[in-house]
Structure 1
Amino acid sequence: MLEWSQERLAEAAGISRPTVKDFERGARTPHPSNLASIRAALETAGVEFIAENGGGAGVRLRKEITT
């Protein structure tokens, strides 16, 4: 969606690249603080997390508002 590398996500979230790599391949369960950092980095970049609302949870890019 953002076309970020593991390195870019790690940098934006303030965590290590090996941590991102391990999460992506399911090698370990993320700590809540790491998940919060990843989410914050993605949200800052324009990703919106959509709550479960009968249609399933998901993500989308925030619409840019032009005035």
Structure 2
Amino acid sequence: GVPNINMVNSPEVPGGIGTIAMCVNTIPNIINARPGLKSMIDLPVPRALMGDMRDLIDPECKIVK
């Protein structure tokens, strides 16, 4: 993306990388969600996402079209 982001999670806490990965992989689901208060039960199950996440965003939900 633009701008590039470089981040270090240090010191690593047990499970920290997995938690961060789950949060990052949930971003397309958050963007595609309808407006309103949501909890994790309202969203699809988090899973590993490969490839360009921009392809997973619904065109109707894109901020920049």
- Structure possessing the higher relative contact order (Cα contacts under 8 Å, 6 or more residues apart): 2
Relative to the length of structure 1, the TM-score reads 0.32
* Greater fraction strand: 1
Relative to the length of structure 2, the TM-score reads 0.32
